């Protein structure tokens, strides 16, 4: 079986990215390892009282993200593609690369947004970092606005 790591950020193009990853996984008989990396500072805020931490905000956000991950996982499984997921907090690039090692991944699938010709905006800094540091192929799927 071919192992595919699919990082998701729950942005407005996530559904298109998941559709592309499902298609790719079916073509190569792959299993999708879905991952979302939440920022470490998710419960922190700066206001009149200075820098504060709100654990209930962090817990609620993590709970919502787990629900979203479960929903995506069920959608992938409904297409007869094997899938499991992970949610971690920290530095996305480092966590994704480590996850690739632990899952013996063959590919990372990412999305481009095609907003401009500038490389960082075109493929994103995370995709750029993964492409630069990954020892496995990073498949960048074109994710564009539909202009029909």
Asked, for residue 30, whether it belongs to a domain, the answer is yes
Asked, for residue 101, whether it belongs to a domain, the answer is yes
Q: What CATH number does residue 21 fall under?
A: 3.40.50.620
Bigger pLDDT: 110 vs 39:
110
The pTM is what? 0.85
Asked, for residue 148, whether it belongs to a domain, the answer is no
pLDDT digits (tens, 9 = 90+) for 53-95: 777 777 788 889 999 999 999 999 999 999 999 999 889 999 9
* Predicted local confidence at residue 124, as pLDDT: 62
Q: What is the mean pLDDT of residues 3-19?
A: 93
**Structural domain tally of the chain?**
1
Pairwise CA distance, residues 23 & 142, whole Å: 13
* Predicted local confidence at residue 43, as pLDDT: 67
Asked, for residue 146, whether it belongs to a domain, the answer is no
Bigger pLDDT: 48 vs 139:
139
Which of 41-55, 64-78, 85-99, 111-125 has the lowest average pLDDT?
Answer: 111-125
Q: What is the mean pLDDT of residues 101-116?
A: 84
CB atoms within 10 A of CB 107: 22
Full domain range(s) for residue 74: 2-141
Asked, for residue 147, whether it belongs to a domain, the answer is no
């Amino acid at each position: 079986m071919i192992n595919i790591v699919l990082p998701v950020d729950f942005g407005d193009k996530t559904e298109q990215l998941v559709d592309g990853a499902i298609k790719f996984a079916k073509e190569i008989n792959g299993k999708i390892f879905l991952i979302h990396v939440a920022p470490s500072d998710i419960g922190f805020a700066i206001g009149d009282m200075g820098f504060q931490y709100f654990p209930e905000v962090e817990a609620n956000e993590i709970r919502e993200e787990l629900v979203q991950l479960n929903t995506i996982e069920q959608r992938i499984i409904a297409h007869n593609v094997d899938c499991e997921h992970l949610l971690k907090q920290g530095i996305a690039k480092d966590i994704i690369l480590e996850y690739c090692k632990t899952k013996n991944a063959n590919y990372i699938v990412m999305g481009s947004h095609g907003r401009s010709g500038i490389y960082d905006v075109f493929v994103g800094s995370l995709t750029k970092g993964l492409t630069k540091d990954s020892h496995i192929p990073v498949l960048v799927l074109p994710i564009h606005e539909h202009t029909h």
